[in-house]
Amino acid sequence: MIASYSQLLDRRYGNKVADDGREFLGFIVEAVHRMEQLLADLLTYSHQFRSFEAAPALIDPELVLQAVLLTMEREIQQSGAKVAHDPLPKIIFDFGRLTQLFRQLITNSIKFRGADPPQIHIAAKEADHEIIFSVGDNGLGIDPRYHEQIFGIFRRLHGKERPGTGIGLAICQRIVQQHGGRIWVESEAGKGAIFHFTVPQ
Protein backbone atom coordinates (compact mmCIF):
# COMPACT_ATOMS: atom_id res chain seq x y z
CA MET A 1 0.00 0.00 0.00
CA ILE A 2 2.81 2.40 0.88
CA ALA A 3 4.60 1.70 -2.39
CA SER A 4 1.39 1.97 -4.43
CA TYR A 5 0.35 5.33 -2.95
CA SER A 6 3.89 6.71 -3.24
CA GLN A 7 3.95 5.79 -6.93
CA LEU A 8 0.46 7.31 -7.35
CA LEU A 9 1.63 10.56 -5.75
CA ASP A 10 4.60 10.62 -8.09
CA ARG A 11 2.42 10.09 -11.19
CA ARG A 12 -0.22 12.65 -10.23
CA TYR A 13 1.84 15.35 -8.60
CA GLY A 14 5.41 14.58 -9.63
CA ASN A 15 5.60 17.60 -11.94
CA LYS A 16 4.53 19.86 -9.04
CA VAL A 17 7.08 18.49 -6.57
CA ALA A 18 10.67 19.69 -6.38
CA ASP A 19 13.45 17.32 -7.43
CA ASP A 20 14.35 16.45 -3.84
CA GLY A 21 10.67 15.60 -3.15
CA ARG A 22 10.61 13.14 -6.05
CA GLU A 23 13.87 11.70 -4.76
CA PHE A 24 12.30 11.18 -1.33
CA LEU A 25 9.35 9.35 -2.93
CA GLY A 26 11.85 7.12 -4.71
CA PHE A 27 13.51 6.33 -1.37
CA ILE A 28 10.14 5.33 0.10
CA VAL A 29 9.35 2.97 -2.78
CA GLU A 30 12.83 1.43 -2.66
CA ALA A 31 12.61 0.90 1.11
CA VAL A 32 9.20 -0.77 0.80
CA HIS A 33 10.48 -3.16 -1.85
CA ARG A 34 13.42 -4.07 0.41
CA MET A 35 10.97 -4.72 3.25
CA GLU A 36 8.85 -6.94 0.97
CA GLN A 37 11.92 -9.02 0.12
CA LEU A 38 12.94 -9.19 3.76
CA LEU A 39 9.51 -10.44 4.83
CA ALA A 40 9.48 -13.01 2.02
CA ASP A 41 12.92 -14.30 3.07
CA LEU A 42 11.91 -14.37 6.74
CA LEU A 43 8.86 -16.44 5.82
CA THR A 44 11.06 -18.87 3.87
CA TYR A 45 13.45 -19.07 6.83
CA SER A 46 10.63 -19.73 9.30
CA HIS A 47 9.31 -22.53 7.08
CA GLN A 48 12.57 -24.41 7.62
CA PHE A 49 11.56 -24.96 11.26
CA ARG A 50 8.47 -26.91 10.24
CA SER A 51 8.57 -30.67 10.18
CA PHE A 52 8.69 -32.34 6.79
CA GLU A 53 5.33 -32.86 5.10
CA ALA A 54 6.71 -36.16 3.82
CA ALA A 55 9.84 -38.01 4.86
CA PRO A 56 12.93 -37.25 2.75
CA ALA A 57 13.28 -39.78 -0.05
CA LEU A 58 15.97 -40.98 -2.43
CA ILE A 59 16.30 -38.29 -5.12
CA ASP A 60 18.62 -37.48 -8.00
CA PRO A 61 20.42 -34.15 -7.39
CA GLU A 62 21.16 -33.82 -11.11
CA LEU A 63 17.42 -33.60 -11.85
CA VAL A 64 17.01 -31.04 -9.07
CA LEU A 65 19.90 -29.00 -10.44
CA GLN A 66 18.50 -29.10 -13.99
CA ALA A 67 15.17 -27.78 -12.71
CA VAL A 68 16.91 -24.98 -10.78
CA LEU A 69 18.95 -23.94 -13.82
CA LEU A 70 15.80 -23.78 -15.94
CA THR A 71 14.09 -21.46 -13.46
CA MET A 72 17.25 -19.32 -13.27
CA GLU A 73 17.82 -19.13 -17.02
CA ARG A 74 17.26 -15.37 -17.17
CA GLU A 75 19.69 -14.55 -14.34
CA ILE A 76 22.29 -16.89 -15.78
CA GLN A 77 22.08 -15.37 -19.25
CA GLN A 78 22.14 -11.77 -17.99
CA SER A 79 25.23 -12.40 -15.89
CA GLY A 80 27.01 -14.48 -18.54
CA ALA A 81 27.42 -17.25 -15.98
CA LYS A 82 28.60 -20.72 -16.90
CA VAL A 83 27.37 -23.51 -14.63
CA ALA A 84 28.97 -26.94 -14.86
CA HIS A 85 28.67 -30.02 -12.68
CA ASP A 86 30.27 -33.40 -12.16
CA PRO A 87 28.14 -36.54 -11.82
CA LEU A 88 26.12 -36.23 -8.61
CA PRO A 89 25.14 -39.32 -6.58
CA LYS A 90 21.59 -39.94 -5.44
CA ILE A 91 20.86 -38.90 -1.86
CA ILE A 92 18.08 -39.03 0.71
CA PHE A 93 16.83 -35.45 0.85
CA ASP A 94 13.70 -33.38 0.56
CA PHE A 95 13.29 -32.43 -3.11
CA GLY A 96 11.92 -28.93 -2.44
CA ARG A 97 14.58 -28.06 0.11
CA LEU A 98 17.44 -29.25 -2.10
CA THR A 99 15.97 -27.03 -4.81
CA GLN A 100 16.12 -24.07 -2.41
CA LEU A 101 19.66 -24.96 -1.39
CA PHE A 102 21.04 -25.18 -4.92
CA ARG A 103 19.17 -22.06 -6.01
CA GLN A 104 20.47 -19.98 -3.10
CA LEU A 105 24.09 -21.04 -3.53
CA ILE A 106 24.03 -20.44 -7.29
CA THR A 107 22.26 -17.10 -6.77
CA ASN A 108 25.02 -16.07 -4.35
CA SER A 109 27.70 -16.96 -6.88
CA ILE A 110 26.01 -14.76 -9.47
CA LYS A 111 25.23 -11.92 -7.05
CA PHE A 112 28.75 -11.71 -5.62
CA ARG A 113 30.62 -12.08 -8.89
CA GLY A 114 33.79 -10.23 -9.73
CA ALA A 115 34.77 -8.47 -12.94
CA ASP A 116 34.67 -11.70 -14.97
CA PRO A 117 31.47 -13.63 -15.76
CA PRO A 118 30.67 -16.20 -13.05
CA GLN A 119 32.16 -19.65 -13.45
CA ILE A 120 30.23 -22.01 -11.17
CA HIS A 121 31.10 -25.65 -10.62
CA ILE A 122 29.11 -28.18 -8.61
CA ALA A 123 30.62 -31.48 -7.52
CA ALA A 124 30.22 -34.23 -4.94
CA LYS A 125 32.49 -36.84 -3.39
CA GLU A 126 31.93 -39.69 -0.99
CA ALA A 127 33.63 -39.61 2.40
CA ASP A 128 33.16 -41.62 5.61
CA HIS A 129 29.41 -42.11 6.04
CA GLU A 130 28.60 -38.92 4.13
CA ILE A 131 28.62 -37.25 0.74
CA ILE A 132 30.28 -33.86 0.48
CA PHE A 133 28.80 -31.48 -2.10
CA SER A 134 30.62 -28.38 -3.25
CA VAL A 135 29.48 -25.27 -5.11
CA GLY A 136 32.50 -23.24 -6.23
CA ASP A 137 32.84 -19.95 -8.08
CA ASN A 138 35.33 -17.32 -9.23
CA GLY A 139 33.61 -14.41 -7.48
CA LEU A 140 34.57 -11.79 -4.92
CA GLY A 141 35.50 -14.30 -2.25
CA ILE A 142 35.14 -13.95 1.51
CA ASP A 143 37.74 -12.93 4.06
CA PRO A 144 38.35 -15.90 6.43
CA ARG A 145 37.38 -13.66 9.38
CA TYR A 146 33.77 -13.81 8.20
CA HIS A 147 33.45 -17.50 7.29
CA GLU A 148 31.22 -18.31 10.26
CA GLN A 149 29.50 -14.94 10.49
CA ILE A 150 27.93 -15.18 7.01
CA PHE A 151 25.66 -18.04 8.11
CA GLY A 152 24.01 -15.87 10.77
CA ILE A 153 20.66 -14.28 10.02
CA PHE A 154 20.87 -10.68 8.70
CA ARG A 155 24.64 -11.01 8.28
CA ARG A 156 25.76 -9.06 5.20
CA LEU A 157 29.28 -8.14 4.16
CA HIS A 158 28.64 -5.83 1.21
CA GLY A 159 25.99 -3.38 2.46
CA LYS A 160 23.64 -1.83 -0.08
CA GLU A 161 26.09 -2.20 -2.95
CA ARG A 162 24.86 -5.78 -3.46
CA PRO A 163 21.17 -6.76 -3.24
CA GLY A 164 19.96 -9.12 -0.54
CA THR A 165 18.58 -9.41 2.97
CA GLY A 166 21.30 -11.41 4.71
CA ILE A 167 19.05 -14.44 5.24
CA GLY A 168 19.96 -16.69 2.30
CA LEU A 169 22.89 -18.52 3.86
CA ALA A 170 21.03 -18.88 7.16
CA ILE A 171 18.32 -20.69 5.17
CA CYS A 172 20.97 -22.91 3.56
CA GLN A 173 22.43 -23.78 6.96
CA ARG A 174 19.02 -24.63 8.38
CA ILE A 175 18.17 -26.89 5.42
CA VAL A 176 21.46 -28.78 5.69
CA GLN A 177 21.15 -29.17 9.46
CA GLN A 178 17.58 -30.49 9.07
CA HIS A 179 19.03 -33.34 7.02
CA GLY A 180 21.77 -34.13 9.54
CA GLY A 181 24.57 -32.40 7.64
CA ARG A 182 26.85 -29.41 8.02
CA ILE A 183 27.82 -26.51 5.77
CA TRP A 184 30.95 -24.36 5.56
CA VAL A 185 32.90 -22.20 3.13
CA GLU A 186 36.48 -22.17 1.88
CA SER A 187 37.44 -18.77 0.52
CA GLU A 188 39.75 -15.79 0.52
CA ALA A 189 38.92 -12.24 -0.47
CA GLY A 190 39.24 -11.84 -4.24
CA LYS A 191 39.77 -15.56 -4.88
CA GLY A 192 36.25 -16.95 -5.24
CA ALA A 193 34.48 -19.24 -2.81
CA ILE A 194 33.63 -22.91 -2.44
CA PHE A 195 30.61 -23.77 -0.29
CA HIS A 196 30.57 -27.34 0.99
CA PHE A 197 27.65 -29.19 2.55
CA THR A 198 27.33 -32.78 3.66
CA VAL A 199 24.56 -35.34 3.43
CA PRO A 200 24.76 -38.46 5.63
CA GLN A 201 24.78 -41.79 3.80
Q: List, for residues 114-159, the tens digit of each pLDDT value.
A: 899 999 999 999 998 999 999 999 999 998 998 888 887 756 555 5
Q: Residue 149: which CATH number?
A: 3.30.565.10
Instruction: State the Cα–Cα distance between residues 116 and 151, nearest whole angstrom.
Output: 26
Q: Are residues 36 and 96 in the same domain?
A: no
Mean pLDDT along residues 33-59: 73
134 forms bridges with which residues in the sheet? Answer: 123, 196
Q: What is the mean pLDDT of the chain?
A: 86
DSSP letter at 123 equals E
- Residue 94: predicted pLDDT: 92
* Apex 38 CA angle, 34 and 39, nearest 5: 120
- Residue 41: predicted pLDDT: 66
Q: Are residues 93 and 23 in the same domain?
A: no
Q: Are residues 31 and 64 in the same domain?
A: no
Q: List, for residues 90-107, the tens digit of each pLDDT value.
A: 999 999 899 999 999 999
Question: At residue 22, does pLDDT exceed 70?
Answer: yes
DSSP letter at 117 equals P
Residue 146 lies in a domain: yes
What domain range is 112 assigned to? Answer: 57-200
Residue 151 lies in a domain: yes
Q: Are residues 160 and 102 in the same domain?
A: yes
Q: Are residues 78 and 23 in the same domain?
A: no
Question: At residue 52, does pLDDT exceed 70?
Answer: no
Number of structural domains in the chain: 2
Residue 52 lies in a domain: no
What confidence tier does 46 reach under pLDDT thresholds 50, 70, 90? low
- Residue 59: predicted pLDDT: 96
Question: At residue 164, does pLDDT exceed 70?
Answer: no
What confidence tier does 10 reach under pLDDT thresholds 50, 70, 90? confident
In this prediction the pTM is 0.75
SS3 193: strand
- Residue 49: predicted pLDDT: 62
Question: At residue 20, does pLDDT exceed 80?
Answer: no
Residue 80 lies in a domain: yes
Q: Are residues 77 and 35 in the same domain?
A: no
Measure Cα distances from 2 to 7, 30, 36, 101 in Å. Answer: 9, 11, 11, 32
Question: Could you tell me which residues come within 8 angstroms of residue 27 by beta carbon, excluding any fewer than 6 positions away?
Answer: none
Question: Could you tell me which residues come within 8 angstroms of residue 94 by beta carbon, excluding any fewer than 6 positions away?
Answer: 52, 54, 56, 178, 179
Q: Residue 72: CA atoms inside 13 Å, Cβ hemisphere, count?
A: 24
